[in-house]
């Protein structure tokens, strides 16, 4: 039917209204999502052959909003790290008792939803059980560590594909951190940990993970030297995790790019393991916009480097972020707000992934 005949039938005014509504909806769709409304971070990541993921909060299966939490998680992500439930105090509460029950819930959820599990963490100085707090001889502690690593990695063999074997072993000044492991065993606890993890699951990817090593600085220089020497010695280390707990000031992007490159040149896989971008508690629209730019820029640089396998956030909804509890005056560090609405950062990341995909399809 021609437009003027239709107009006669419906009345010119209502046709005009319809047309305006139609045009407006096209415009909003275009502006809000640039035709990406059918896509999620997960769907784009999968087309790009990378992992985008999150740290899963304790006991998410019993939260009042657990079903929304799980809906969003499985829609948006293809890799999961249990935020706390694979740490020593949770999984090895007594000398002769392991408790895998909580960790298993995270693993089950991930595997049922086709996600990869990234285990966190086998050697760290925090969240240790009280029983470890005593005088150990070197031989005793080596034995304790070996048993722990082999038991945990062995238990999840074939299920946990990536392990943060050693976490935060270096101080901010760029020296070995004075942890129980370092003080009792000496620096060789690091290589031993990788060797034992490899023995327990030869197919798992084994990484060193730390914070404030994203750019070139004394700490990342020390880590670089450490992993370079491990590689040269033939210690089974496969990658490095950059935690990326950063704030509204962002980081030096050129330095980040160069840093990724030098680690990749050692033949290591790279991971962004715990990203969040904290902003002031009383955040404005500008803060949210700035945060979106930082997230987007980090994704852009990661996607330039083929060694980057995964980018993970430390949570996904601001409702369950560790940030307000740990950084006074800061909040809103993640990509979904407290009501699970995507924030500007979410849309900005999506645009970066989509643009990369377009380039990939064009063969650039
Ligand atoms: C944090 C968790 O998010 C908190 O829930 C917990 O109380 C303390 O640990 N680097 C790490 C993570 O490797 O394990 C830490 O996670 C955040 C800093």
Q: What is the pLDDT of residues 295-332, one digit of tens each?
A: 999 999 999 999 999 999 999 999 999 999 999 999 99
309 is catalytic: no
84 Cβ inside 6 Å of ligand 1: yes
Q: Is the pLDDT of residue 163 over 90?
A: yes
Q: Is the CB of 322 under 6 A from ligand 1?
A: yes
CA 279 to centroid of ligand 1, rounded, Å: 18
Distance CA 289, CA 131 (A): 46
Specify the higher pLDDT residue, 364 or 190. 190
What's the mean per-residue pLDDT of the chain?
93
pLDDT at residue 26, as a whole number = 41
Task: Assign 78 a pLDDT band (cuts: 50, 70, 90).
Answer: very high
- The answer, yes or no, to whether residue 17 has pLDDT greater than 90, is no
Instruction: Spell out the residues 6+ positions from residue 356 whose beta carbon is closer than 8 angstroms to its own.
Output: 48, 303
DSSP codes of every residue in 324-339: HHHSTTEE--SSB-TT
Longest Cα–Cα distance in the chain: 94
Query: Cα(86) to centroid of ligand 1, in Å?
Result: 11
pLDDT value of position 34: 60
Cα→Cα distances 94→124, 132, 151, Å = 17, 9, 14
CB 255 within 8 A of CB 216: yes
Region of 43 (left: φ > 0; alpha: ψ -120 to 50; beta: rest) is: alpha
Q: Quick check: is 214 catalytic?
A: no
Average pLDDT over residues 140-154: 99
Q: Would the CB of 167 count as within 6 Å of ligand 1?
A: yes
């Amino acid at each position: 039917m021609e437009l003027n005949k239709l107009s006669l039938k419906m009345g010119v005014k209502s046709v005009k209204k319809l047309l305006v509504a139609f045009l407006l909806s096209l415009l909003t769709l275009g502006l809000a999502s640039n035709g990406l409304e059918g896509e999620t971070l997960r769907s784009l990541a999968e087309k790009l052959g990378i992992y985008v993921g999150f740290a899963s909060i304790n006991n998410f299966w019993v939260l009042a909003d657990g079903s929304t939490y799980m809906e969003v998680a499985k829609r948006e992500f293809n890799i999961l790290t249990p935020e706390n439930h694979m740490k020593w105090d949770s999984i090895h509460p007594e000398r002769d008792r392991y408790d895998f029950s909580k960790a298993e819930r995270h693993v089950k959820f991930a595997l049922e939803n086709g996600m990869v599990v990234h285990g966190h963490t086998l050697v760290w100085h925090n969240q240790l059980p009280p029983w470890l707090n005593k005088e150990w001889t070197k031989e005793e502690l080596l034995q304790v560590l070996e048993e722990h690593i082999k038991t945990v990695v062995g238990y999840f063999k074939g299920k946990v594909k990536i392990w943060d074997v050693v976490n935060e072993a270096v101080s901010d000044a760029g020296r070995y951190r004075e942890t129980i492991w370092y003080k009792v065993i000496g620096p060789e606890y690091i290589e031993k940990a990788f060797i034992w993890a490899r023995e327990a699951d030869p197919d798992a990817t084994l990484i060193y993970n730390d914070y404030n090593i994203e750019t070139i600085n004394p700490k990342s220089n020390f880590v670089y030297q450490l992993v370079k020497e491990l590689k040269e010695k033939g210690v089974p280390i496969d990658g490095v995790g950059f935690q990326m707990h950063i704030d509204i000031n962002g980081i030096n992007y050129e330095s980040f790019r160069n840093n990724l490159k030098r680690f990749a040149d050692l033949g290591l896989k790279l991971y962004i393991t715990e990203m969040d971008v904290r902003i002031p508690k009383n955040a404005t629209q500008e803060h949210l916009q700035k945060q979106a730019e930082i997230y987007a820029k980090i994704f852009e640089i990661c996607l330039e480097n083929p060694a980057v396998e995964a980018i993970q956030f430390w949570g996904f909804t601001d409702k369950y972020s560790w940030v307000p509890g740990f950084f006074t005056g800061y909040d809103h560090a993640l990509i979904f707000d407290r009501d699970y609405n995507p924030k500007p950062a979410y849309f900005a990341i999506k645009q970066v992934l989509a643009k990369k995909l377009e380039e990939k399809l064009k063969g650039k």
